[in-house]
Chain A
């Protein structure tokens, strides 16, 4: 993910806007108003606006602003609410259980959002660079197909060459590996340790094979590489889908607690109107 000048200007605009909120809150403080009320309502409004992205995505038929613009708005509004949040809590962690819970949830939402931005930008490029384009829901099918292909290839090699070398190699090193998604973390960080390990194993067994067997082995090696790419795609796509399992549920939990917080602060420290 690289920064361009447009991003920098947008981010600077957000910083200026947050600074304006800070100065305004200080102006309220200096006149003995409870500035937290103002920053709190701005924060709640910002959070509700951020949540609208999810609503917008669920109603694609609406003639509203395209989702990609919503996403940009969501991103920078998110940064703005982070700034207002820091102003609201006076740059220190709250003491109360409810307020602390809200703050922790906000931090989780914000960090997961930042994480989401990062992977949305970087994982998409990585997926484009490596392997083929795959529909996430069909990855189990492809994995199943690859495993069957590998099983068939081993059976065929025994029949064709009369040797069990490749079949034994497959049984010992690859059969379990083909059964399911593997090396999830390694793929996220693009460590590539597993493929080097497998390639070395292929090279090690290659020297003991005759030409027919070597031909079969190369076909198996191709299946392994495909499976490795498939796992890579699975890891990245799954992460791209499942980070929202933190971001969205915690957001809604945060909103519920925020509403409770609003009721409490206005009931105990000053009426809304």
Chain B
């Protein structure tokens, strides 16, 4: 038996609209009404047909699908005789689906509204747990400046370009990484570095596809306000508690460093690494190793290994050197203090001639014999116009002050003027004290001196020493100078001061200060250095290095002090760096020691490599270059113009291990992005002090 359930002819199958929202409740029984439910799902059929009037008769309109015209026909009032009870319309599939969609949207919007308005939101909207280092931060607003305004403000922040800059400020409020500038360099410095880097790169290795695409679409490195790079560009949070957000990859470095290296071993530029600048202490390794240590007289003092002088620092990164006492004093210690510094000297003047002509020069030691004045005296006398005029005249004329027999009146007046100025200088030192010296030093150097600087510059000279100078050299100084300054004449005495001789057989004053200090030797007030690190010479070296150009007298000081032949010979080892920006000079009293809070651009951990180097030891990497003009690098104050007395480090040396088959190297193995000095955040813990007790 075969038959069909579905019929499609119009007489036996009524029409179904696929987009109708409701279907008749009698559909399943096989006799749905023709009209069907309305749009609200209400049954609107009351009878099987709606009779129509033809002439004066009502005619049945029941279709064939519902059985055709009924036998009874319409009622006299024109209504259908077959009433239909109300059905319960059923929603169509489309209607049910629409309802489901609306419920789904309502549910999601409801969840969002609940989340946005309550504490549940922080959890729901949180894109994931932050790393353990930030896990203590519970308020989203601590990092996200947009958070505090709530959901309405978030929509506004979608278009606020300053949000990122504020968020960077939030980061650096804890992480002292400056202002988010690349490598903490200014834009100008970056441009210079970029230019130099491009000059260094000669090869053009193949670039990865993303970089080619970035270049093709002219995609520049993204910067926020003021050329900042947002912290989150590299450090992407909400990756989970155990995520290491400080771990970077080479691609992130190559965002800016677009000249891609094929590999470290193949094409990494080394430039002048690891000798980018002049060593702070001038130590000629070639001279010492090849020459001085070979001298039979010094063999016993020569170091046995590099580590006799160099030891790794606490972090094993830098090889630091010991101090002068450990490394240098065995050879150089005795020479530091062998040359005393003359502070005040008396020039020799032909007093016999001045006596003969009855000059008005007052007393002056007959046996004083200095030919030049000390730089210190030049400074103290720099504002004495009569002295300056007379001394210039003497210098210009090439006068010999010890032979005034044939001198002209002008020359005699100049000699007397010098004598009165020097006596006046000593008089002023004794009567005005340190203020007189301070005033003259400040005038000559063009800057104010601190009390500590002044103390060191005068070498803490006792008043008694100056007083001794006066009593020995000019017994009648007070009376003479005051008379002279009153404009009265002071004749040259017939009896000149005799040279001081100590009563009895006492020790020589120079021997007395063998370990350093002040002493008078004849007509010279001298200072003997206390040894390495003497603060008197150190103070004068600092003053001279920074004020050499401020006055002629200071220039003379600089010539005398900044010299390898100067007392102490400080600058023979301690280099001077002239600050390009500040103009101040920095004297490198100590060798470089890494600040524990400093993050350099390039780091090398020496201690990690000790076990890898063979018999050649340090010279595996550091090869002496006997031809290099190392000393020539110290002829000026420019630390960047430098020739190391070690040959440049060969990349191949590193690449023998750091290659694709042994140690795979990434940029951040050696380089840091955040360059600078970043002290750890300190905590300000308030002390619990009883204020009432303080007031009492």
A230 touching B101 by the CB < 8 A rule?
A: no
A212 to chain B, nearest CB (A): 16
A95 touching B128 by the CB < 8 A rule?
A: yes
Binds A, one of B156-164, B279-287, B410-418: B156-164
A257 touching B108 by the CB < 8 A rule?
A: yes
Contacts of B230 in A (CB 8 A): 32, 270
A137 touching B23 by the CB < 8 A rule?
A: yes
Q: Which residue of A lies closest to B140 (CB)?
A: A268
Q: B158's contact among A34, A222, A266, by CB below 8 Å, is which?
A: A266
A99 touching B128 by the CB < 8 A rule?
A: yes
CB of A55 within 8 A of chain B?
no
Q: Chain B 119-160 against A: per-residue CB contact (8 Å), 1 yes, 0 no?
A: 000011111110000000000000010110000011111111
A244 touching B255 by the CB < 8 A rule?
A: no
Q: Which residue of B lies closest to A220 (CB)?
A: B1
Q: A134's contact among B5, B30, B160, by CB below 8 Å, is which?
A: B5
B114 to chain A, nearest CB (A): 12
Q: Which residue of B lies closest to A138 (CB)?
A: B6
Contacts of B154 in A (CB 8 A): 263-264, 267-268
Contacts of A98 in B (CB 8 A): 124-127
Cα(A89)–Cα(B405), bound, Å = 104
CB of B618 within 8 A of chain A?
no
B221 touching A31 by the CB < 8 A rule?
A: yes
Q: Chain B 205-220 against A: per-residue CB contact (8 Å), 1 yes, 0 no?
A: 0000111011001011
Q: Which residue of A lies closest to B209 (CB)?
A: A23
Cα(A242)–Cα(B92), bound, Å = 12
Given contact pairs A96-B238, A253-B105, A27 touches B161 in the complex (Cβ within 8 A): no
Contacts of A218 in B (CB 8 A): 1
Cα(A146)–Cα(B81), bound, Å = 30
CB of B246 within 8 A of chain A?
no
A131 to chain B, nearest CB (A): 9
Contacts of A253 in B (CB 8 A): 104-105, 107-108
Most chain A beta-carbon neighbours within 10 Å: one of B156, B213, B229, B252: B213
Residues of chain A in range 239-261 having any CB-CB distance to chain B below 8 Å: 241-242, 244-245, 248-250, 252-253, 256-257, 260
Contacts of B579 in A (CB 8 A): none
A91 to chain B, nearest CB (A): 14
Contacts of A94 in B (CB 8 A): 127-128
Cα(A95)–Cα(B131), bound, Å = 12
Given contact pairs A23-B213, A138-B6, A141-B28, A272 touches B158 in the complex (Cβ within 8 A): yes
B220 touching A31 by the CB < 8 A rule?
A: yes
CB of B27 within 8 A of chain A?
yes
Cα(A232)–Cα(B164), bound, Å = 60
Given contact pairs A142-B6, A226-B5, A256-B109, A248 touches B219 in the complex (Cβ within 8 A): no
Q: Which residue of A lies closest to B32 (CB)?
A: A141
Cα(A26)–Cα(B209), bound, Å = 9
Residues of chain A in range 137-154 having any CB-CB distance to chain B below 8 Å: 137-138, 140-142, 144-146
A267 touching B157 by the CB < 8 A rule?
A: yes
B210 touching A30 by the CB < 8 A rule?
A: yes
A256 touching B112 by the CB < 8 A rule?
A: yes
CB of A13 within 8 A of chain B?
no
Residues of chain A in range 1-58 having any CB-CB distance to chain B below 8 Å: 23-24, 26-34, 58
Cα(A80)–Cα(B105), bound, Å = 25
B138 to chain A, nearest CB (A): 16
Q: B160's contact among A137, A263, A271, by CB below 8 Å, is which?
A: A271
CB of A273 within 8 A of chain B?
yes
CB of B96 within 8 A of chain A?
yes
Residues of chain B in range 142-192 having any CB-CB distance to chain A below 8 Å: 144, 146-147, 153-161, 163-164
Q: A31's contact among B16, B97, B219, by CB below 8 Å, is which?
A: B219
Q: Which residue of A lies closest to B145 (CB)?
A: A268
Contacts of B125 in A (CB 8 A): 96-98, 264
CB of A62 within 8 A of chain B?
no
Cα(A33)–Cα(B234), bound, Å = 10
Query: Chain B interface (Cβ within 8 Å of chain A)?
Result: 1-6, 16, 19, 23, 27-30, 92-93, 96-97, 100-101, 103-105, 107-109, 112, 123-129, 144, 146-147, 153-161, 163-164, 209-211, 213-214, 217, 219-222, 229-230, 232-234, 238-240, 251-252, 254-255
A-B contact pairs, 22 of them (CB 8 A): A26-B209, A27-B214, A30-B255, A31-B222, A34-B222, A96-B125, A96-B127, A138-B6, A140-B28, A145-B5, A218-B1, A219-B1, A248-B101, A249-B101, A256-B108, A263-B154, A264-B154, A266-B159, A267-B154, A268-B157, A268-B163, A271-B161
